[in-house]
Amino acid sequence: MVYITGDIHGSLEPIRELFDKFAQSKYDIIVLLGDVGVNYWGTLKDIELKHEMNSLGATFFCIHGNHENRPQNIASYREKDWNGGRVLYEEDFPNILFPTDGDIFTLEGRQCLVIGGAYSVDKLQRQRNGYKWWYDEQPSAAVKEYVEEQIAAKRVDVLFSHTCPAKYIPTECMMSCVDRSTVDTSTEDWLDTIEDRLDYEAWYLGHWHIDKRIDKMHFLYHGVETLI
């Protein structure tokens, strides 16, 4: 079974709740839609979290968010093929997988495109207060080009991303203290163009800390869904 949920930000409580609600097995896949938080601190704190998460048994398919370092920047990660695409993983934590942005994975017979990353509206606050921030939090020009090549050549049934196309931005979730004129929406604007080119079944995303549904767009935070 494939279960899908939103950002956990380094807390396993939402995962434990998911396991309490649904019978889990080592064959299940848990899709986390970004901001997992296991690559945030770069310290023993991350390692302890990974040990606990990996011990749960299911496979965690972790979309890249904006509040975490990319595994490509971390020397301990290795690449392998998995379900039709490429994932990054650490040998000590083989159940925690980070898919390559733009790759298409076969899950329960569906062709699932992955597009991670987003802009941090709290970027300046984090920098001022010494919190972590990464310059490559959004998809690069090379990633965007690769995604466009993929969708031109292959079928896409389902999308997993961190943020949403611009037309679906839930403005009610925006932080009141943030000047919207300073927010970089280039990723969301580009995702608009991607959606316009696809005939897909469902699009799952996190980032906005809300559980709601708009047409085929599934916003998930603490909510849990199974793959359509």
Structure tokens at 66: 């904006």
Predicted pLDDT of residue 177: 65
> Are the beta carbons of 45 and 77 closer than 8 angstroms?
no
Predicted pLDDT of residue 39: 98
Spell out the residues 6+ positions from residue 13 whose beta carbon is closer than 8 angstroms to its own.
none
36-88: pLDDT as tens digits: 999 999 999 999 999 999 999 899 999 999 999 999 999 999 999 999 999 99
Predicted pLDDT of residue 153: 97
The total number of structural domains in the chain stands at 1
159-216: pLDDT as tens digits: 999 999 999 999 888 776 667 777 899 999 999 999 999 999 999 999 999 999 999 9
More confident residue, 174 or 138: 138
> 102 pLDDT exceeds 80?
yes
> 23 pLDDT exceeds 90?
no
What range defines the domain where residue 10 resides?
2-226
* Alpha-carbon torsion (93, 38, 204, 160), positive or negative: negative
Band (pLDDT 50/70/90 cuts) for residue 120 is very high
Predicted pLDDT of residue 35: 98
Predicted pLDDT of residue 128: 86
* Sheet strands side by side (includes 85-90): 77-82, 85-90, 93-99, 59-62, 29-32, 2-5, 224-226
Long-range Cβ pairs for the range 216-223 (8 Å, 24+): 217/164, 217/165, 217/168, 218/4, 219/6, 219/164, 219/170, 220/4, 220/5, 220/6, 220/33, 221/5, 221/6, 221/7, 222/5, 222/6, 222/14, 222/17, 223/5, 223/6
- Average confidence (pLDDT) over 74-103: 98
> 7 pLDDT exceeds 80?
yes
**Residue 201 maps to which CATH number?**
3.60.21
Least confident range of 98-107, 116-125, 172-181, 195-204: 172-181
